Structures are given as C-alpha cells and as structure tokens.
Structure 1
Amino acid sequence: MKGIILAGGSGTRMYPITKSISKQLLPVYDKPMIYYPLSTLMLAGIKDILIITNPEFITFFEKLLGDGSHLGISIKYEKQTEPKGIAEAFLIGEHFIGDSEVCLILGDNVFYGEGFTQMLQECTKIKNGAKIFGYYVQNPTSFGVVEFDEHENVISIEEKPEKPKSNYVVPGLYFYDTQVTKIAKKLTYSQRGELEITDINKEYMMRGDLKVELLGRGFAWLDTGTSEGLHEASSFVQTIQKRQGLYISCIEEIAYRMNYICQNQLHELAKGLKNTDYGEYLINLSNERKL
C-alpha cells in the first residue's frame, strides 16, 4: 500500500499566520505539523509516500524531509496548483498510485491512542472496498457525519448536516482499494467547486464496500486547521510528552522502532539535533538496548 499526505490548500482559516507559509510547516509544539500525518503512515507500515502541496512550498518540504531515505522510506512530491478538493489528490497522484491500494491522510490531522498502530496495520491489508474512521464528538454539525449498522457497514454520510444521524464524524484518514482513482475520475465538482472526498465514500457505500473503524473513548483526534485547534494540539502534545517522557510522532524513533533504520543510523540522525531536547531524546534512545 502507498500513502498520500494532502498538504495543500490556502490556509485562509489561519490568516495571517499562513499568508507566507504552509500551515503544515507550522509547529505543533516541538515538531512541524507534517510530522504527525507522516508518522501515521509510517506506523501503518507504509514506506512509499507522496506529499501534495502548493508549488511555492515544495522546496520547503524537500528541505525538511528530503527523499525520506534517511528514515528508510521514500518521499515524493507533487503540486496542487489550487485547492480543488480532497479527492483531487487521487488525480494528482494517479501515476504515483499506479495499481496499488492507497491511504490518504490530511496534513493537518493528529491522531493519538493506544492500539492505533495495530489498527492502522490491519487497515493496510484491505484488498476490496474502503475503510474510513468514526470519532465521537459532542457537536457533529461542523463535520462529515457517518451513520452505520451493527456490523460497522456505513449506511449514510452527510456533510455538515443540520440534523446529524449520529455523533460520529469522519476524520481525515482514508484507506482505499485500487478502484479509487477510477472513481475519482468520474466525479463532478460540487457547488463549492471541489471534488469531494464524501462523494468517493458514497460511491463505495452504494457498492456495499465501505466500512467504518470506530476510534474509542481513550483516543484523541485533533484537527489543527485553525489557530485554536493548533494551540489545543500543541498543549496536548506538550502535556503527554512532559508527563510520560515519550515523544509523539517522532519520525526518527518510529523509523527505528519499525526497523526502517538501524541503531547507528538513528544515532547519526540524533547528532544533528543534539542541541535540542528532541535531539537529546533521540541520543538517549540510540544508546539504549532496543526492546
């Protein structure tokens, strides 16, 4: 399975912060925002990754992440010249996807919870159909809302409904089989001029091939697409890291734990960051015996 991070868009909800920089390069506490969706794909076992972003920001992402070889993965880049919807990612990434299954994650989504790695790795085994996630919120009217039966088959999806049929909303993480690009090619633009990811999910639902994976009460999903959301996510990451002493979405550690790189490679990466708490954490990790 391949992975796509959609890190485009104009970021108008965060102006003036994002007038001159991609929001996915903003810090969520001690790491660039892009580290969080990247870590999700890496934990899923996905090593072939495409980052889609605005043309003017590609060089910034390349400077930050390079081709991914230092992490034992492959990172490629494509341009999204203007925001035409989430589903456009499958058209932009058509050549990259080829005949593979694909996971799409939005660049401003942060996930954290026990058992998430195992859940992700199960999702990568998908061969037919699609899988989305459901997250319980108090006020679902601002999100895409998913309704499902007792077997977790999706029976309705509505975008920002006035009268939601459930309290479960759809975060920006999706797993699809090899048919997704063909489906995306048949989409028409919505009233807001975008190719909607909801329309792709509805097509799978109509085929009886859309499942929902529920994220439980002990799970955190944070949308960092607003200034308030960014602040909340930063506070959350700081609290967890300070209390546990374990880092969230540390891509070098994940590469090491997933056996993408060896202990010596981790140590070399850590040396370049030695003047920071982040680097010290990696140095200590590289000096420990691997569990």
Structure 2
Amino acid sequence: MKGIILAGGNATRIFPLSKSISKQIMPVYDKPMIYYPLSTLMLAKIKEVLVISTPRDLPMFRQLLGDGEDLGMKFDYIVQKVPNGLVQAFVLGEKFIGDDSVCLILGDNIFYGQGFSEMLYRVQLHIEGAYIFGYYVKDPKAYSVINFDLDGKVLSIEEKPVCPQSNYVVPGLYFYDNSVIEKAKKIKPSTRDEYEITDLNRLFLVEEKLKISLFGRGFAWLDMGSLDSLLDAACFVATIQKRQGFYIACIEEIAWRNGWIDNEKLQQLGKKMGRTEYGKYILSLLT
C-alpha cells in the first residue's frame, strides 16, 4: 500500500500566519504539523509516501523530510497548482500509486487513541473497495456526515448537510483499492468548483464496496483548520507527552519500532537533534 499526504491549499482561515509559509510546516507544540499525518501512515506500516503541496511550499517539505532514507522509507513529491479538491490527489498521484492500494490523509489531521495502529494495519492488509472512519461530533453540519444502520452498513453520505441524519462525520483519513484512480477521473466539480471526496465515496457506496469503522469515545481526532483548533492541538499534544512521557508522532521512534531502522541509526538521528527534549526522548528509547 502507498500513502499520500495532501498538504496543499492556501489556509486562508489562519491568515496572516499562512501568508508566507505552509500551514503543515507550522509547529504543533514540538513538531511540524506534517509529522502527525505522516506518523499515522507509518503506524499503518506504509513505507512509500507521496507529499502533495503547492509550488511555493513543496521545497520546504523536501528540505524537512528528504527522500525518507533516514527513516527506512521513500518519499516522493508532486505539485498541486490549484487547490481544487481532495480527489485530485489520486489523479496527480496515479503514477506513484501504480497497481497498489492507497491511503490518503489530510496534512492537518491528528489521530490518537489506543489500538489505532492495529486498526490501521488490519485495514490496509485487507482493503477491498473503500474504507472510511466515523467520528462522533456535537455539531456535524460542517463535515461530511455518514448515515448507517445498526449493522454498520453505510446508507448515505452527505457533504455539509443542513439537517444531518447522524452525528458521525468522516475525518480526513481514507483507504482505497486501486480502482480509486479511475473513479477519481470520473468525478465532476461540485457547486463549490471542487472535486469532492464525498462524491468519490458515493461511487463506492453505489457498488456496495464502502466500509466504515467507528472511533470510540476515548479516541481523539483533531482537525487543525482554524486558529483555535491549532491551539487546542498543541495543548493536547503537550498534555499527553508531559503526563505520560510518551511522544505523539515521533517519526523516528515509529520507524525504529517498525524495524525500518536499527539502534545505531536511531542514535544518529537523536544526536542530530542536539540537546532538545525531542532529541533526548529519541536517545532515551535506547536505554
């Protein structure tokens, strides 16, 4: 399976912060924002990742992440000139995906909860059709809302409905088999002049190949699309790390625990961080 991180867009909701720098480069407590979605792909044991971003911002991601060799991974990069919808990620990434299945994650999403890694790994091993997730929110009107029956069968998906049929929404994490490429090419622009991921998911729903798994009450999903949500995410990460001592989205640790890098490499990466708390944490894993 391949992974795609969509880290484009203009992030106008957080101007002036994002006027000169990508939102996904900005710090969320002690790490660049893109570390969080990248860590999710790594937890799913995905080693080949494509980063899609704007012409202005893509060089910064190349400088930050490199070619992936330090993590035992492989990173590719593609420009999205116009931010016209999530579905375009599969058209732009067609060559990268090849004959594989693919996982798309939005570059401003954080997922955190017990058993998450095992859930991701099970999904990517047995993907057939499309697999999405459901997360309960108090006010679902601003999201893609899922309606399903008592057996978990998806009945409908609506984009930003006026009268939502449930409180479960689709967070920015999607798994698809290889048929997603051809389906993506069939999607027409919506009234917002965007290629909507909801329309893509409906194509799988019509074929009865759309599956859903619900995140429980103890699970955290943070969408960092506004100034307040950026602050909330930073506070959340800081609280967990300070109280538990475990780091969220430490990509070097995940690569090491996945067996992609050895102790010597982990030590090298830790020493590169100097005397930072992040570097000290990496080195502490070896003791």
Give TM class, smaller chain. Answer: over 0.9
Q: Could you tell me how far apart the structure 2 residues matched to 1:126 and 1:22 are?
A: 34
* Structure 1 residue 159, shift from structure 2 partner: 0.9
TM-score, scaled to structure 1: 0.97
- Matched position secondary structure for 1:82: coil
Q: What is residue 209 of structure 2 aligned with on the other side?
A: 209
Q: What is the root-mean-square deviation of aligned Cα atoms in Å?
A: 0.7
Q: What is residue 154 of structure 1 aligned with on the other side?
A: 154
Does the 8 Å contact 1:148/1:212 carry over to 2?
no
* Structure 1 residue 142, shift from structure 2 partner: 1.2
**Structure 1, residues 220-268: CA drift from partner, whole Å, max 9, x if none?**
0000111111100000000000000110000000001111101110000
Q: Could you tell me how far apart the structure 2 residues matched to 1:180 and 1:38 are?
A: 21
* Structure 1 residue 152, shift from structure 2 partner: 1.9
Does the 8 Å contact 1:274/1:283 carry over to 2?
no
- Matched position secondary structure for 2:200: helix
Q: Which amino acid aligns with 2:7?
A: A
Q: What is residue 77 of structure 1 aligned with on the other side?
A: 77
* Structure 1 residue 283, shift from structure 2 partner: 1.1
Matches within 5 A, 1:1-291: 1-286=1-286, 288=287
Q: Which amino acid aligns with 1:35?
A: Y
**Structure 1, residues 8-28: CA drift from partner, whole Å, max 9, x if none?**
001111110000000000111
Q: Could you tell me how far apart the structure 2 residues matched to 1:209 and 1:198 are?
A: 14
Does the 8 Å contact 1:101/1:176 carry over to 2?
yes
- Matched position secondary structure for 1:237: helix
Runs ≥4 residues deviating over 3 A? none
- Matched position secondary structure for 2:247: coil
Q: Could you tell me how far apart the structure 1 residues matched to 2:150 and 2:128 are?
A: 20
* Structure 1 residue 131, shift from structure 2 partner: 0.5
Does the 8 Å contact 1:7/1:108 carry over to 2?
yes
Q: Which amino acid aligns with 2:271?
A: K
Q: Could you tell me how far apart the structure 2 residues matched to 1:114 and 1:5 are?
A: 23
Deviates more, 1:234-243 or 1:142-151: 142-151
* Structure 1 residue 126, shift from structure 2 partner: 3.0
* Structure 1 residue 151, shift from structure 2 partner: 2.8
Q: Could you tell me how far apart the structure 2 residues matched to 1:115 and 1:240 are?
A: 16
**Structure 1, residues 30-84: CA drift from partner, whole Å, max 9, x if none?**
0000000000000000001000000111111111100011000101000000101
- Matched position secondary structure for 1:55: coil
Q: Could you tell me how far apart the structure 1 residues matched to 2:93 and 2:225 are?
A: 23
* Structure 1 residue 154, shift from structure 2 partner: 1.1
Q: Could you tell me how far apart the structure 1 residues matched to 2:249 and 2:284 are?
A: 17
Q: Could you tell me how far apart the structure 1 residues matched to 2:273 and 2:234 are?
A: 20
Q: Could you tell me how far apart the structure 2 residues matched to 1:144 and 1:185 are?
A: 21
Does the 8 Å contact 1:126/1:176 carry over to 2?
no
- Matched position secondary structure for 1:145: strand
- Matched position secondary structure for 1:8: coil
Q: Could you tell me how far apart the structure 2 residues matched to 1:274 and 1:284 are?
A: 13
Aligned length: 287
Which stretches in structure 2 are left out of the alignment for 5+ residues?
none
Q: Could you tell me how far apart the structure 1 residues matched to 2:57 and 2:160 are?
A: 30
Task: State the percentage of identical aligned residues.
Answer: 56
**Structure 1, residues 78-99: CA drift from partner, whole Å, max 9, x if none?**
0000101000000110100111
